[in-house]
Structure 1
Amino acid sequence: MTGQFGMVGERYDARGVPVRSETVRVPLEFQLASVVLGGLGRLVFAIAQRPWLWGGAVVGWLLWLTIGTVGLAACVATTGALLVAWWHLRRVSFDHFVRFRARAAMRRVWVYRRQWQPAMVTAGLDVRIGQRQYLPELRRVRSTGSVDRVTVRMLSGQILDDYAEMAERLALSLDAVECRVRTVPPTRRHRREIELWFLVFDPLEEVVPVIDAPAVADFASLPVARREDGGLFGLRLLGSHVLVVGATGSGKGSVLWSLVNVLAPAVRCQLVELWVCDPKGGMEFAAGAPMFHRYSYGDGAAAEPNAYEGGFADFLEDAVAVMRQRQRRLRGITRLHEPTCGDPLVVVLVDELASLTAYVTDREARNRIKAALSLLLSQGRAVGVVVVAALQDPRKEVLPFRDLFPTRIALRLTEPEQVDMTLGEGARRRGAACDRISEALPGVGYVVIDGIAEPVRVRFAYVSDDHITAIAVPDDLTELAASAADRGQPS
């Protein structure tokens, strides 16, 4: 800044005249010595922080003194052979302990450490006080192959939203596909730490094949999708309701059929009952009808196995009756129902929920449906009657009780405002850009769970018609149930 105030850092006398500071001349050799010693000090500090680096050098030197050059070369060759064998036989553990750690160390040095200062300045996350510049501290870098998890200590006065608003700039500055901001558990020493998840390449661009259902279902973590970091995503069904929202062609069928597929062994063992409501006239779920406990597609016909002859209102009111009966039986005994063969988990699966809540022309039937759904969503979780519903339009007038779903999944949406409608206020700012999902990526979406602010990006498995037929054929059901009993699962 110039003008009557002069340059920043100048001093003035009583008359306002700038006072020239005294100049101290430092010999060139002292300046060079300062630079060299400072560089050596930083090098020693960096090596001290990485015991595996100097430890390996010390061990190598000791081995060279003990067994000589030939023996050291033999040790190196043996170690390399063991690493190759480990990579072939135990790929997952090798990646976790060796490849991902080496990748994280290299990217910390060659990407994040080199580009950190310009990235922070470009995003406006640095602070200048006088002539000094302060940057957020780069703490740790961990890698999962496709995602770099960079732990950052924020400057005083900064909050998570400051970084969330600059996520796109950070991704471009640090050569990443996307950047998402996530909280980390606070500690007494590091209360201002956050994690920046940089998506280096997108593993969700490839179709996810059918995920094998576990022999013993864990209803708190059902493997139905793949996360962007390469791991499996476990969907919680016990004690929760699930809402799936997505535009036409976004892959809602992949979500619902992935859930049915992973529940198939539990259905065969009578640990789960699937009550399926298909307002599309049976076009979506008719192929799986043999494995459904109850199945309603609206016209009251009984052509399909287990087809329900009543209307949608009667169907949902029967589920409410089951809920009431369990409440009377479990009152004072337990606060959360545990599925057993004689007392299974009831999963009410509804496709295109708007057809029941907004598009029904019979006012009395529509009111009965809304009343039954409200009761199931507000009281059914504790007694093991859970609702999984899918729809296209998340507006309140279409689904007035969307906030009663603890788990919400948003696939591709048509408008940015629909993201916050579905996942909660601020979800899009935290990285859930559902309106930017390509039409060529059906099944890709973001999952938000109550109590966890950050959305998780996943892609649900594609379940083909042939696979649906295979898991629903009664002969196959009998054979697979016998094999599950041989593995020790209740039948």
Structure 2
Amino acid sequence: MNRMGGDRRDTGPVRLNIARVRLPLTAVVAAWVGRRLAAGVWWVLRRPGAVTVVGLVLVALWVTVAHGPLPVLAVVAVAGSTLLIWSHVHPGSFAPVVVWRARGLWRAGSVYRWAWQPAMVATGLAMRVDGTEYLPRIVSVSSTQSVDRVRVRMLPGQTQPDWATNGQRLAQTFGAVDCRTRSVPGKVHELVLWFLTADPLTRPVAPFEPADPPALKGLPVAKGEDGQIHRVRLLGAHLLVVGATGAGKGSVLWSLINALSAGIRDRLVQVWAIDPKGGMELAAGADMFARFVYGGTPDGGDDTAYEVQFAQVLEDAVTVMRRRQAALRGRARLHTPTTDEPLIVVIIDELASLTAYINDRDAKRRITAALSLLLSQGRAVGVSVVGAVQDPRKDIISMRDLFPTRILLRVTEPEHVALTLGQGARDRGATADLIDDATPGVAYIGQDGVPEAARVRFTHVTDDDITTLVQRYAPRAAALLPGAIAAVS
């Protein structure tokens, strides 16, 4: 069995009359050893790490012969002590540099290369031509705390969907929880198999400490299935959040607000919050918002008056957008937030209440027009929209394609995956309809230009955490910012 991948010829019964040549046993053994040594040398030369290890071993042997074992033992003791101190002082860097590299090397040999040939044959990913068996080749294996990344060079004629459809079979073969495929930018003949060896997203994720100032091009809001912090871009982007009731849309919104909180305090960021559900989700953080509309009406007032307020807030955002377009025209293509011109984040907790379930026809027309303008033109000038919705169908939200970043939590229908993340997303592993309802905040994040969605779990921000955020990060007193309008309730 060829356990390393490559070609293997069929050795069917063929009868030939060949003259017998007698060779000494020593010659046969020498030829076999020579072939093995040549293969080993070629394997080492193709791997710089292996060359380094072999070199160190040879140096250690030479020193031991020339000076005895004490110098080598001293070096080993110093290296071991250094690694031990490193692991205790800075475990965050020790794990990826040392532990995960060692784990990747170990699992490459003990798991993947060992069972590669039978796995390829069983899944139909191997090919046989004229009696010769061709196998996809393992290029490299790397590991994290919970994911093995196996980089593979596909056979001619194979595509990523051929591998994606065999994900569950590959996961079972190699003892993983799940297997998904990832493309390799610039390498059309290669892909990466993500083997989830343990799921770190089964437990709630505590909120991250807000960065000061916030990294608007990469806000830390979730934990990825590889155990690492996952970041989401907000500056120059719009976010659509889709999820069924109880799926964790509030976790997404509050994770974003938590990551923005230092910028809110320093007035580099303004949050304009629209909560059509009477403020049930966002009211606790009202003191952090530059504007807050929640659908309340005075006693005896018009029941549709709050719908006009929603339209007014969005039209005010369009006004800011127009003014900034005039100021940046010919000078810059992307707005840089300052205290005078902050990033404005319009958060809408239930987008369908503004686009589909509204009674006032005039207000609906104004809301649709303003939203369409903001989504098509606002992100370049620092006016970003974050909208949450339960149903992603076109008749509910007609402008969903204008959101470059889409976050899909648990949904009730498989069709919602394609509607949110695009055709074929579910075949590539984004099975949002199968997310356990006991894991709110677990989501798939899709971005324009990236064919595969990332699986993450957003942080769980409790009521106590929100109270602490408001106390620590309420905006500092300052004059009314240009383009801003006093809070509306």
Equivalent in 444, 461, 464 of residue 463 of structure 1:
461
Counterpart of 1:357 in structure 2: which amino acid? T
Alignment check: 8 A CA contact 1:299 1:311 kept = no
Alignment check: 8 A CA contact 1:9 1:130 kept = no
Counterpart of 1:330 in structure 2: which amino acid? L
Who is 2:413 aligned against? 415
Equivalent in 213, 236, 242 of residue 233 of structure 2:
236
Who is 1:118 aligned against? 118
1: CA distance, partners of 2:327 / 2:476: 32
Q: Summarize the alignment of residues 24-423 of structure 1 with structure 2, pairs less than 5 Å apart.
A: 24=18, 29=25, 35-48=32-45, 49=47, 50-186=50-186, 191-300=188-297, 311-423=309-421
2: CA distance, partners of 1:210 / 1:9: 60
Who is 2:4 aligned against? none
Q: Which moved more, 1:378-387 or 1:42-51?
A: 42-51
Q: Which moved more, 1:20-29 or 1:156-165?
A: 20-29
In structure 2, stretches of 5+ residues that fail to align are 1-9, 300-305, 479-489
Query: Aligned with 1:151: secondary structure?
Result: strand
Query: Aligned with 1:94: secondary structure?
Result: helix
Query: Aligned with 1:117: secondary structure?
Result: helix
Query: Aligned with 1:198: secondary structure?
Result: strand
Alignment check: 8 A CA contact 2:267 2:475 kept = no
Change (3 A) 1:9 1:230: closer
2: CA distance, partners of 1:336 / 1:204: 35
2: CA distance, partners of 1:27 / 1:145: 55
Query: Aligned with 1:192: secondary structure?
Result: strand
Higher relative contact order (CA 8 A, sep 6+): 2
Who is 2:425 aligned against? 427
Taking structure 1 as the reference length, the TM-score comes to: 0.87
2: CA distance, partners of 1:380 / 1:186: 31
1: CA distance, partners of 2:83 / 2:476: 39
1: CA distance, partners of 2:250 / 2:241: 10
Alignment check: 8 A CA contact 1:242 1:408 kept = yes
Alignment check: 8 A CA contact 1:104 1:143 kept = yes
1: CA distance, partners of 2:85 / 2:477: 38
Provide the identity percentage.
51
Alignment check: 8 A CA contact 1:406 1:449 kept = yes
Query: Aligned with 2:78: secondary structure?
Result: helix
Query: Aligned with 1:438: secondary structure?
Result: coil
Change (3 A) 1:428 1:309: closer
Q: Which moved more, 1:22-31 or 1:292-301?
A: 22-31
Query: Aligned with 1:311: secondary structure?
Result: helix
Equivalent in 436, 444, 447 of residue 445 of structure 2:
447
2: CA distance, partners of 1:66 / 1:278: 78
Q: Which moved more, 1:372-381 or 1:60-69?
A: 60-69
1: CA distance, partners of 2:16 / 2:150: 44
TM-fit CA distance, 1:300:
3.8
Change (3 A) 1:23 1:399: farther
Counterpart of 1:96 in structure 2: which amino acid? P
Query: Aligned with 2:457: secondary structure?
Result: strand
Counterpart of 1:255 in structure 2: which amino acid? V
1: CA distance, partners of 2:427 / 2:267: 43
Counterpart of 1:22 in structure 2: which amino acid? L
Q: Deviations over 1:234-270 (max 9, x none)?
A: 1111111000001111111110000011111101111
Who is 2:483 aligned against? none
Counterpart of 1:192 in structure 2: which amino acid? H
Counterpart of 1:411 in structure 2: which amino acid? L
Change (3 A) 1:371 1:412: same
Q: Which moved more, 1:39-48 or 1:148-157?
A: 39-48
Change (3 A) 1:480 1:85: farther
Taking structure 2 as the reference length, the TM-score comes to: 0.88
Q: Deviations over 1:66-124 (max 9, x none)?
A: 43123433332222122111111121222222111111110010001101111111221
Q: Which moved more, 1:275-284 or 1:366-375?
A: 366-375
2: CA distance, partners of 1:426 / 1:67: 64
Query: Aligned with 1:107: secondary structure?
Result: helix
Change (3 A) 1:31 1:248: farther
Q: Deviations over 1:442-473 (max 9, x none)?
A: 11111111111111111111111011011113
TM-fit CA distance, 1:299:
2.0
Query: Aligned with 1:462: secondary structure?
Result: coil
Query: Aligned with 1:223: secondary structure?
Result: strand
1: CA distance, partners of 2:140 / 2:213: 37
Q: Deviations over 1:399-438 (max 9, x none)?
A: 1110000000001111211111101111111111111111
Aligned length: 457
Query: Aligned with 2:466: secondary structure?
Result: helix
Alignment check: 8 A CA contact 2:273 2:291 kept = yes
Query: Aligned with 1:420: secondary structure?
Result: helix
Query: Aligned with 2:260: secondary structure?
Result: helix
Change (3 A) 1:205 1:23: farther
Alignment root-mean-square deviation, CA: 2.5
